[in-house]
Structure 1
Amino acid sequence: MAANGDSVIIDAAYLASSIRNMMPFDLHMTTKCCIFKIPNILYRQNERAFIPDAFSIGPLHHDDLKATEKIKLEYLQCLISRLATLTALNDLINCVKDVEREARECYAEPIKYSPEEFVKILVIDGCFLIEVFRKNVYKFLKGEDDPIFSMSSMIQFLYHDLILLENQVPWIVLERLFEFTKGPEEEYSLTELAVKFFGMTFSMEPPDLHPIQDIKHIVDLLRKWLISAAERKGSGEKEEEINQPYRILRMQGIKHILGLPMKWLISATESVKQEVSSTEWAQKWEPIPSASSLKEAGIKFKKCKSKSILDVEFSDGVLTIPSLLVQEITETTFRNLISFEQCYANCEARLTSYAILIDNLINTTKDVDILRERGIVNNWLNPEDAVQFFNQLYHHAYVTEFHYGTLCSKVNKHCRQLWPRWRALLVHNYFNSPWTIISTVAAIILLVLSVLQTWSSMKT
């Protein structure tokens, strides 16, 4: 830029060259991108829900937590000693080296490490993960002084750190390392081992194990795990409904372990067929009242036996909801699953829809108590924290298709009917205890006798 009196001369060619140099060679984000940095608008809701406490997994937080690297190396050494070959470590490196480029494409953020450093991170972290999953199931692999399973705090750190969207290793890396190191005595697949590790994340009752395809990472695994559970619940439905193409497609594309519970939850809700189009769900649905308001309107709550928390149904004035375990790790899990839905291309907002629905139901501690009494919410937090958790869970997350639109429409239609509300008030005010029932019945009998006596006197 040059100044000439009051005029300013801008060198367009220089600026064009400067801007061109700022651009990477490839600006296009491929469909393989499945591991993302959390957007600031979601991150600031609860920073701790997205930052690892003790273990960095993958390249995004590799420089942050060095104290636990020796634990990873100890697990790697254990694994190599079982392989009992001089070239075991070289073979593990070659397993990952073959998919280095594909693994790099899974990250939306540029990886600052060289191919050699990146492969080293994937080998150490990948072997650590599969050893954790193995030791959780095969107890004979654990020593008495195991640095993780002998300390309850370490297990809690792991539960938190392994379900963070930024703290993921591509599933293809884990799968290759697992298959290469799998012993003849091992009966479970990698997916089954991972599901067993996270089995009680959402409910006190662990879900069934079943095959899940095209997993991207642990987060994706959890998501698909939840979805597929509902698919199995609907196995008794008509064959033409079960085999609908969109149901099959929805089970594809797990990206990481966190994606497993997401898809598990999503597929679980597939058993409930919506009656309106996606556009109508998004544009016409209206929120439902809180649990206490629904109770006053005569709606009953019932605990569902479904293996997926997403399988919410409404029929004949009864809202059936699967049990949800609310504990310290629940918020972290949901926030990362929702973030994955918000970031991953063409991903259905099933967990986000669930969060919106539950937020509608819970406004106060009274609502939590109602659902807790029915066995729907198993709350390990204090009631105030539980209310805050549900009310802030999906802030700044958006849905274009709300998957409970038809259900909300049915609930609101039922609430507008007068008789269910009057019946609920009658039961609450006059039939809520044996003594009120006795006194009410006695009053009715006296009233009937008085009417009969009056009628008899008039007739005489």
Structure 2
Amino acid sequence: MVGPMRPQFVLFGSSIVQFSYGNEGWGSILADIYARKADILLRGYSGWTSRHALQVLDQVFPKDAVVQPSLVIAYFGGNDSMRPHPSGLGPHVPLPEYIENMRKISIHLKSLSEKTRIIFLSAPPVHEEKIRETFSDSAAELRTNESCRIYAEACLELCREMDVKGIDLWTTLQENDGWQTACFTDGIHLSAEGSKIVVKEILKVLREADWEPSLHWKSMPTEFEHVLRNYPDMRSSGGADPASICVDRKLLGLTPIAPKCRIFKVHQRLRKVNEACYEPALLAIGPYHHGKDGLALMEEQKLRYLQSMLNRRNEKSVEKYIMALRELEGRARSCYAECFSLNTDEFAEMMLLDGCFIIELFRKFGMGNLRDKCDPIFQTCWMLSGLVHDLLLLENQLPFFVLTRMLEMTRCPSEPQDLIDLALNFFNCLSFPWSLRLSHSSRNSIQNIEYLLSLVHIAAFSSIVEIEMAGKAVLTIKELKSMPFATRKDSKSMPCATELQEAGVQFKILEGGNNLINIKFTNGIMEIPPLFILDNTEAFLRNLIAYEQYNRDKDLRVTEYVSFMDCLINSPKDVEVLRRQGIVHNYMGDDEVVSTMFNKLGHYVYH
């Protein structure tokens, strides 16, 4: 024994633990992070199960030891979850026994000391193809990702029951693009990248845990820190600078940004201009607003729509749908750029209820015979309009491939429409400020549709793409704004509608102008498609703008259109000019409301 005594962190488990000091493993990373703060002790045993762990628990963690560990990070489950070997000699531990074994391990560790803290790591996923390639076909048959999921969920459920901190490795690792090859060396054991993710999750638990004293490395004292305090030059001659250590550790904890992240939360500067335009009023879709107060009515309606679908199909259980959606979980999670706290079961349930509700809503809207006579959505005058608003919020989205999968699994034999047709029929008929249609070329590029708001963005502006592809020149909004109207010599900006009219410019409705940005200016005549200003128009425009702001690879068509209209409309008088020509149809009643809306739409929007 050497001194001084430091807190002891014990890593206890099977090969995931034993190998954690090699290949830039998570054990070695923790040892580096906790240098001069805690001793990281390795007790890893390759091939072991929870059954083996119980046999030696008193020897590894004797209750009469003078010094008890401050933290035990335990991992068992991967070997337990293997399917039974035909010989009966494999490591398989039946699920009930595994749960009971882990319960006994938890009870024993808790009995060591009031200050002994515990973290259980769930079974991680496995890459079955790599296992087959590295080991054998039989090995891949015995160790499956689905069995790992079952044991991982059982471990996490036990953690909740026993009030033990648990880390869901099965879900967390699969949230990373290419996790199969990036996170594993042989399909089973962690790579350096996989170990970094494990460390990040452990540090997150330690940072957030309400433990006294805190076991997060930033909160723990550094051994003999005072010795070199008066010798700053020593840092450059071999001693590590504390600031550099801090930054290096933060860099170590970073995980790659998923390149497919497309569903964002609106940033605060944009949101604060009109927060109501970005918040659901009735319906939460996706994880960001899941479980929020005030949205309970639609949560019950989601269950009713699911029950309606099952009854129509003479089905009693949702199991096949849950299993199908679990296969999409990793891909779906990677679509969300922001953090949320749903575990794997909650996420699968959310995908099922939200996806089924949207598909059934579109169906019932288009096919009245599917509606329940008491359905409040179709019995009230305001709910459908509110649902349109909520379904087109940037933060309130479900990946399009999830909706497509739900439609494919529940399609009626006589159902002619695909998801695009169902969705556009719904939005076109309900309080939408302009016509939506999908060009032939856009329909053939369905992979570009990320979610419903993305579909509306494509459908609202696809006709301009067709015109450009056909070689018919149409002035862009940027070109219109930069034209030398010569009505004001003291300003470089485009004149407003009143000034243009006074200068002799005539305004007309663009005939057949279903696309908002098909604006023409020839021979002193400006032709503009009609715009219907409804209660939800501002929210539609704001969320389409936000979509473009977070997807700069898209054309900024809405952003440019709003900027153009902001130039045309400076005051209620400008709205009146456009309204009298039939270009603006103001269902808000007050021209000042419209002018204020356009004047604020561009706040904190970047071109």
The two structures have a TM-score, normalised by structure 2, of 0.55
Cα–Cα, structure 1 residues 148 and 21, in superposed 2: closer, same or farther, change >3 Å? farther
SS of 1:148's equivalent in the other structure is helix
What is residue 428 of structure 1 aligned with on the other side?
Answer: none
- Rounded to whole Å, the distance in 1 between the matches of 2:433 and 2:229 is 75
Aligned match for 2:501, one of 295, 303, 306? 295
For 1:7-26, what aligned pairs fall within 5 Å after superposition?
7=230, 12=240, 18-19=246-247, 22=250
Aligned to 1:458: none
* Structure 2 counterpart of 1:346: 553
SS in 2 for 1:152: coil
Q: Note closer, same or farther for the CA distance 1:15–1:276 as it changes in structure 2 (3 Å cut).
A: closer
Aligned counterparts, 1:403-414, within 5 A: none
Residues 263-342 of structure 1 mapped to structure 2, 5 A cutoff = 272=474, 286-304=492-510, 305-342=512-549
In structure 1, what is the equivalent of residue 462 of structure 2? 228
In the alignment, the residues of structure 2 paired with residue 147 and residue 229 of structure 1 have an alpha-carbon distance, to the nearest angstrom, of 36
State how far apart, in whole Å, the 1-side matches of 2:575 and 2:533 are. 11
Percent identity, please.
33
* SS of 2:285 mapped into structure 1: coil
The residue type equivalent to 2:359 in the other structure is: I
Aligned amino acid, residue 298 of structure 1: G
How many Å apart are 1:30 and its aligned residue? 3.2
- CA deviation after TM superposition for structure 1 residue 13, in Å: 6.2
- The secondary structure found in structure 2 opposite 1:385 is helix
Range that drifts further, 223-232 or 325-334 = 223-232
SS of structure 2 residue aligned to 1:118: helix
8 Å contact 1:160–1:329 — kept in the other structure?
yes
- 2:395 is equivalent to residue 180 of structure 1: no
Root mean square deviation of aligned Cα: 2.9
CA shift digits 1:200-256 (9 cap, x unpaired): 567666444555322101111110001213345x3xxxxxx6268xxxxxxxxxxxx
Q: SS of 2:309's equivalent?
A: helix
Name the residue aligned to 2:272: 44
Q: Is residue 81 from structure 1 mapped to residue 311 from structure 2 by the alignment?
A: yes
Q: Please give the per-residue CA displacement for 1:42-72, whole angstroms capped at 9, x wherever unaligned.
A: 0111111111112110001102145121111
User: Which residue of structure 1 aligns with residue 322 of structure 2?
Assistant: 93
Match in the other structure for 2:420: 191
Question: Cα 1:207–1:160, aligned 2, differ >3 Å: closer, same or farther?
Answer: closer
Map of 1:139 onto structure 2: 368
Q: Which residue of 1 aligns with 2:155?
A: none
What is the CA–CA distance in structure 2 between the aligned matches of 1:301 and 1:221, rounded to whole Å? Answer: 31
Contact 2:433–2:534 under 8 Å retained in 1 = no
Task: Give the greater-gyration-radius structure (CA).
Answer: 2
What TM-score results when the alignment is normalised by the length of structure 1? 0.72
CA distance in 2, matches of 1:56, 1:170: 14
Q: CA deviation at 1:308?
A: 1.1
- Cα distance, 1:22 vs structure 2: 4.5
Q: Which amino acid is the alignment partner of residue 500 of structure 2? A: L
1:335 CA displacement? 0.7
CA contact (8 A) 1:130 1:178 kept: yes
Deviations, residues 291-310 of structure 1 (Å, cap 9, x unaligned)? 01000111111111211111
Aligned-pair distance for 1:355?
Answer: 0.5
Aligned twin of 1:157: 386
Aligned residues: 361
Q: Tell me, yes or no, if the aligned pair for 1:202 and 1:326 is still in contact at 8 Å.
A: no
Residue 286 to residue 120, structure 1, CA distance change in 2 (3 Å): farther
For 1:209 and 1:6, locate their aligned partners in 2 and report how far apart those are by CA, in whole Å.
68
Deviation at 1:83, TM superposition (A): 1.8
* Structure 1, gaps ≥5 residues long: 235-240, 245-269, 400-460
Give the Å deviation of 1:98.
1.7
Aligned to 2:302: 72
- In the alignment, the residues of structure 2 paired with residue 296 and residue 190 of structure 1 have an alpha-carbon distance, to the nearest angstrom, of 48
Question: Which one of 573, 583, 596 corresponds to residue 366 of structure 1?
Answer: 573
Aligned with residue 386 of structure 1, among 585, 590, 594: 594
Q: Secondary structure of the equivalent of 1:398?
A: coil
> Per the alignment, in what secondary structure is the counterpart of residue 322 of structure 2?
helix
Question: Residues 396 and 14 (structure 1 numbering): CA distance in 2 closer, same or farther, change over 3 Å?
Answer: same
The one-letter code matched in structure 1 to 2:319 is N
The secondary structure found in structure 1 opposite 2:261 is coil
Return the alpha-carbon distance in structure 2 between the equivalents of residues 26 and 340 of structure 1.
26
Contact 1:202 1:309 in 2 (8 A): no
The answer on whether the counterparts of 1:79 and 1:131 sit within 8 Å (CA) in structure 2 is yes
Find out whether 1:219 has 2:448 as its counterpart: no
Which residue matches 2:97? none
Quote the Cα distance in structure 2 between the aligned partners of 1:340 and 1:397: 11
Distance, in Å, in 1 between the alignment partners of 2:601 and 2:248 is 41
Q: What letter corresponds to residue 310 of structure 1 in structure 2?
A: I
